[in-house]
Structure 1
Amino acid sequence: MTTRLRGVLAPVLTPFDAKLAPDVGRLIAHCRWLIDNHAGLALFGTNSEAASISVAERKSLTEALLEAGIPAARMMPGTGACALPDAVELSRHASQLGVAGLLVLPPFFFKGVSDDGVFAYYAEIIEQVGPGCAPIYLYHIPQFTQVPITLGLIERLRKRYPTVIAGAKDSSGDWANTQAMLDHFAADGFDVFPASESLLSKALPLGAAGCISATVNMNPAGIHRLFEGWRGDQAGELQASADAVRQVFQGGAMIPAMKHAVATYATDAPWRTVRPPLVPLDAALRESLDARLRAIDFSMPGYPRA
C-alpha cells in the first residue's frame, strides 16, 4: 500500500537549457537537494511552469528522475490538463511508475463550468486509469483556473471514490477556505495542504498534512523544521524565520525570482532561464531581490554548485 505523503513539498522548479528544453541534469540535482533537506516533490506544479511543459516532456522527466534514483514514494506529480485524454495519459503513466500521489488541476480553459462537469472530469480520470490509480490530490487554485474545487465537489468525489480521492492543495490564499476544508474533511483522513508555509502554525493544529509551497524550493530545511517543531518552544521563531523568506519571494514574478536565486547561490547562470511567456528578471529587479535576500542572511546550504 502506498504511504501517504505528509510534510513539506516543493512544486519543483524546472530548469531549461539555452534551447528552452528541460535540463534533466539540473532537475535531478535540484530534486536531490530538496530530498536531502526533507522535502517531497510536487513535480509539474504551477511554479514548475507545468502549463508550459508538454505531456511527453513530463513523462520523460519523471522517468529520468526515477532512473537517477529519486524515489517515487516522494513524488506527487501534477497530471491535470485541459484535455481529458492528456490528464488520463499523465495520471496513468505516473501511477504505473508508483508515485505516491497525483496533484490534479481541474480543466482550466472553459470558465463557469458546473460542479457536475468538474466531477465528470475527475471521475473519467479515475475510471480510465483503473484500479492502479495513485491517490489523487485535488488542486484548488481558482485565481488561475477560475474553476474552483468546492466543498460539495470534494464530498461527492470522496463518496464515489473514497480510496482514491486523498486530499487537496489549497492555493486560493483564502484562509477561510482552507479552514473549511480542514473542518469538513481532515478528521476523516482527507489530507489538506495549504500552499504557503505561513499558514502552517494555524493549519497544523486543525489537522493539515503539511504544505505544498513554492518557497520550499528555496528553504526546504527551514520549512521542514517548522513542520516538525510547531508544537515546541521555538515554534514562533521557526514560523517567523520561514515567513521572512516567503515574504521576499511572494507576489510579482515569483518563478523568475526563485530561479534567479538558485542561479546566484549555485553560481549557475543557466538556472535563470524561463520558458515563454515568462521572462527573466530585469537588472533592477535582480538587484532589489539580491538586497532583500542579503538583508535576511539567506543561503541555500549544500546546494550543488556549477
Structure 2
Amino acid sequence: MSLFHGVSAFPITPTDAEGRCDHHALRRVLEPVARARVDSIGLLGSTGGYAYLTPDQRREVLEVALDAIGGRVPVIAGIGALRSDDATALARHAASAGAAGLLLAPVSYTPLTEEEVFQHFAAVAAATGLPLCIYNNPSTTHFTFSQRLLERLAGLPTVAGVKMPLPADGDFTAEIGRLRAALPSDFAIGYSGDWGAAESLLAGADGFFSVAAGLLPDSFLRLARAAITGDAAGTARRDAAFGALWELFREFGSLRVMFMAAREAGLTDALPPRPILPLPEAQRDRVMAAMRAAEAA
C-alpha cells in the first residue's frame, strides 16, 4: 500500500493570534491521532491553516509535529504556496525534516493556466525524491484539474496520487472508473469532504483525506475500514452516527467546527486564524452532541 492509500488524518494547527505555534497544544492534538495508527497524518493542509502561516511558521509546525509523532505514522506535509520557489523550499525542508510525502495545491492570486500549474508541479516535484500528491481543491484555489492535466502530472516521476473533491454528480463509481482508465495503475485516487467518505471508499477509492480523523481517529477508522472491506451495512450504520457532524461541516465549514470541538475536548484554547471567526457559542451544544454521536460510531 502506498503512502496515499487508506485514511489520512488532517488535524488543526493550534496557534496564537500572530500565528505562533502552540507546541504543547499541537502535541495534545496529534497524540491520539498517532496512537490510533491512521495510515498517514496530513499536516498543514486546509484544516491545518497553511494559507494563514508564514513559511517559517510552517517549518516550525512541521518540525514540532514530526518530533511529537516520533515516526509512528507517516507524515504528509502541505507545501502549497503562491510562488514556485517558496513551495520548492518548503518541499526541501519537509524532506530534510523527515516527512514521508508532500501535498501540493496550486495556490494563486492571478488565475493560473493549465501549463502554469504543470510547470509549478514539475518544479516542486523535481526538488525532492518524496512522493507528491496533487491537491485538487477548487473551492479554495479556484482551479480545477482537468483529466488531461492529471494525466500529464501523473507522468512526473514523483507524482503518485491525487486528493479529489467530491464529484458534483455524486457518482464516485463512474469518476473513479474514468480516472483509473486514464492514470497509471499504481496512481492513488483519494477524496476529501468527509460526508463523502463512506460512498467514495465503498466505490473503490484508494484513500480518504479526513478532517474528522484529525480529532476522532478511532471512530473514523472504524467507518473507513468498514467501507474499504465492502461492509455496506456496517458502513451505513457508522456513517449515520457521523451524520450530525457532517451536517455541521456542510453548514459552517469543517475548520470552524473542529476548532470548537478541540477546545471543548480540552486540547487547545486556540481560535481559527483571523479573519475566520469561531463558531458562535450558540452552536456549542450541537457540536458536542455531534461529537458524542460520532465517537460511538
TM-score normalised over the length of structure 2: 0.86
Q: How does 1:10-29 map to 2 (within 5 A)?
A: 10-17=9-16, 20-29=19-28
Q: 1:68 corresponds to which residue?
A: 68
Tell me the distance in 2 between the aligned counterparts of 1:76 and 1:269. 23
Is 1:164 matched with 2:158? yes
Question: Displacement of 1:31 after TM fit?
Answer: 1.1
C-alpha distance after superposition, 1:41-78 (max 9, x if no partner): 11111111110011111112211222334328521111
* Percent of aligned pairs sharing the same letter: 22
Say which SS state the counterpart of residue 212 (structure 1) adopts.
strand
Q: 1:304 corresponds to which residue?
A: none
Q: Match of 1:78, as an amino acid?
A: G
Q: Match of 1:286, as an amino acid?
A: R
CA contact (8 A) 2:132 2:158 kept: yes
C-alpha spacing 1:255/1:202, structure 2 compared with 1 (3 Å): closer
Q: Match of 1:146, as an amino acid?
A: H
Q: 2:273 corresponds to which residue?
A: 275
Tell me the distance in 2 between the aligned counterparts of 1:146 and 1:134. 26
Q: 1:89 corresponds to which residue?
A: 89
Q: 1:184 corresponds to which residue?
A: 179
Q: Match of 2:224, as an amino acid?
A: F
CA contact (8 A) 1:10 1:213 kept: yes
C-alpha spacing 1:245/1:219, structure 2 compared with 1 (3 Å): farther
Q: Structure 1 stretches of 5 or more lacking a match?
A: 302-306
Moved more, 63-72 or 32-41: 63-72
Q: 2:117 corresponds to which residue?
A: 118
CA contact (8 A) 2:173 2:204 kept: no
Q: Structure 2 stretches of 5 or more lacking a match?
A: none
CA contact (8 A) 1:138 1:168 kept: yes
Say which SS state the counterpart of residue 188 (structure 1) adopts.
coil
Moved more, 86-95 or 224-233: 224-233
C-alpha spacing 1:248/1:282, structure 2 compared with 1 (3 Å): closer
Question: Displacement of 1:269 after TM fit?
Answer: 6.0
C-alpha distance after superposition, 1:94-141 (max 9, x if no partner): 122332221100132112x321111011111123x1xx4211110111
Tell me the distance in 1 between the aligned counterparts of 2:81 and 2:114. 17
Q: Match of 2:61, as an amino acid?
A: L
Tell me the distance in 2 between the aligned counterparts of 1:148 and 1:85. 22
Is 1:224 matched with 2:221? yes
C-alpha spacing 1:199/1:282, structure 2 compared with 1 (3 Å): closer
Say which SS state the counterpart of residue 250 (structure 1) adopts.
helix
Tell me the distance in 1 between the aligned counterparts of 2:92 and 2:117. 19
Tell me the distance in 2 between the aligned counterparts of 1:106 and 1:182. 25
Q: 1:106 corresponds to which residue?
A: 106
Tell me the distance in 2 between the aligned counterparts of 1:300 and 1:89. 42
Say which SS state the counterpart of residue 48 (structure 1) adopts.
coil
Q: 2:53 corresponds to which residue?
A: 53
CA contact (8 A) 1:215 1:249 kept: no
C-alpha spacing 1:59/1:259, structure 2 compared with 1 (3 Å): same
Tell me the distance in 2 between the aligned counterparts of 1:287 and 1:243. 15
CA contact (8 A) 1:66 1:72 kept: no
CA contact (8 A) 1:182 1:208 kept: no
Root-mean-square deviation (CA, aligned residues, Å) is 2.7
CA contact (8 A) 2:7 2:210 kept: yes
Say which SS state the counterpart of residue 42 (structure 1) adopts.
strand
